[in-house]
């Protein structure tokens, strides 16, 4: 997923606003929490969103093969694959099929109720969104944080898996409390953590389809390997800060889809 470019610095006077929700202290302390599927996020909505995203990825890959001879190492405006078999499909009008807006609204409503936030004149808002799709053959990611210390304070991601993910399975693993540890985060950014034995501090929670997995942008985490199935997870980046956050620094400006012939997969009707 795209890391955000942090444009502003946290002022010394910034204060944390702590909502009165049982998950809030958990997120503040551990850096992440899994919340139940909101009522508006029905199983049908999850199914519809999953089908829509996977169709979109098929279209993008097919177009990449046709125009560029390969669907590996994609770096386009609409899709990226920064490692083999893991794709990041950026949210845009085409992705935002019928269910997407409802999903986004449910995420934002819960985020507003739950997330510790920097006191702000602005309510929490979604600054980037998309879907990471891992397919069989995908290796575990390097440990990473989505943003640096201390500048990423007040930013969060919400993952919404579109399939059930078992504990310690093929989902996302976190280092509990690592968002509070500047040294650890710096080492993660420098990729000096791989190879360490982290069994006792790494947790990969069970997250059912449609549950909301919120995490602090600074927490060290990684997507695990995919062995025998496709795992799509929608993501929403949420800012609780005053300043602006730009989300396009590692997306290419080059568009893959540019004409009517690209709007549907080859061979489809209508
Ligand atoms: O696949 C996942 O569960 C995590 C993905 C992730 O952290 C990323 O793409 O930066």
This prediction has a pTM of 0.89
pLDDT value, residue 193: 66
Residue 256 predicted with pLDDT over 50: yes
pLDDT digits (tens, 9 = 90+) for 125-156: 999 999 999 999 999 998 888 877 677 889 99
Asked if 201 contacts 174 with a C-beta cutoff of 8 angstroms, the reply is no
Q: Is 261 among the domain residues?
A: no
Residue 120 predicted with pLDDT over 50: yes
Q: Is 112 among the domain residues?
A: yes
Q: Is 118 among the domain residues?
A: yes
Give the Å distance between the CA of 121 and the centre of ligand 1. 31
Domain that holds residue 92: 26-244
CB under 6 Å to ligand 1: residues? Answer: 1, 132, 134, 141, 171-172, 221, 223, 233
Q: Is 176 among the domain residues?
A: yes
Q: What total number of domains does the chain contain?
A: 1
Q: Is 1 among the domain residues?
A: no
Give the Cα separation of 206 and 146 in Å (integer): 21
Mutation test residue for ligand 1: of 223, 230, 247, the one with most atoms within 8 Å of CB: 223
Q: What is the CATH number of the domain that holds 76?
A: 2.60.120.620
Residue 177 predicted with pLDDT over 50: yes
Give the Cα separation of 158 and 65 in Å (integer): 31
pLDDT value, residue 201: 76
Residue 50 predicted with pLDDT over 50: yes
If you take atom 1 of ligand 1, which residue's CA is the nearest one?
223
When pLDDT is cut at 50, 70 and 90, the band that residue 228 belongs to is very high
pLDDT value, residue 235: 96
Q: Is the dihedral of CA 40, 93, 229, 205 positive or negative?
A: negative
Residue 248 predicted with pLDDT over 70: no
Q: Is 257 among the domain residues?
A: no
Q: Is 259 among the domain residues?
A: no
245 vs 3 pLDDT, higher one:
245
Phi then psi for 123, rounded to 5 degrees? Answer: -70, 160
Over residues 194-208, the mean pLDDT reads 78
If you take atom 8 of ligand 1, which residue's CA is the nearest one?
1
pLDDT digits (tens, 9 = 90+) for 59-77: 999 999 999 999 999 999 9
Candidates 1, 10, 52; CA nearest to 239 is: 10
Give the Cα separation of 194 and 197 in Å (integer): 9
Q: Is 138 among the domain residues?
A: yes
Candidate from 22-36, 65-79, 111-125 with smallest mean pLDDT: 111-125
pLDDT value, residue 184: 74
Asked if 191 contacts 228 with a C-beta cutoff of 8 angstroms, the reply is no
Candidates 249, 236, 238, 230; CA nearest to 61 is: 230
């Amino acid at each position: 997923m795209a890391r955000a470019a942090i444009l502003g610095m946290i002022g010394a006077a910034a204060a944390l606003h702590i909502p009165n929700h049982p998950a809030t202290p958990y997120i503040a302390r551990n850096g992440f929490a899994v919340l139940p599927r909101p009522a508006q996020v029905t199983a049908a909505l999850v199914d519809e969103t999953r089908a829509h995203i996977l169709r979109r990825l098929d279209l993008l890959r097919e177009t990449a093969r046709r125009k560029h001879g390969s669907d590996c190492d994609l770096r386009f405006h609409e899709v990226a694959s920064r490692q083999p078999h893991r794709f990041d499909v950026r949210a845009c009008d085409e992705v935002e099929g019928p269910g997407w807006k409802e999903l986004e609204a449910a995420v934002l409503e819960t985020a507003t109720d739950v997330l510790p936030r920097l006191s702000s004149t602005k309510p929490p808002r979604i600054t980037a969104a998309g879907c990471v799709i891992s397919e069989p053959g995908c290796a575990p990611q390097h440990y990473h944080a989505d943003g640096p210390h201390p500048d990423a304070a007040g930013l969060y991601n919400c993952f919404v898996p579109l399939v059930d993910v078992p504990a310690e399975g093929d989902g996302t693993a976190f280092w509990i409390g690592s968002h509070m540890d500047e040294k650890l985060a710096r080492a993660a950014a420098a990729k000096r953590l791989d190879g360490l034995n982290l069994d006792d501090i790494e947790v990969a929670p069970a997250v059912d389809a449609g549950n909301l997995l919120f995490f602090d942008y600074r927490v060290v985490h990684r997507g695990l390997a995919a062995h025998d199935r496709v795992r799509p997870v929608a993501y929403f980046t949420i800012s609780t800060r005053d300043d602006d956050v730009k989300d396009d620094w590692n997306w290419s400006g080059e568009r893959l889809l540019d004409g009517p012939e690209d709007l549907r997969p080859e061979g489809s009707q209508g």
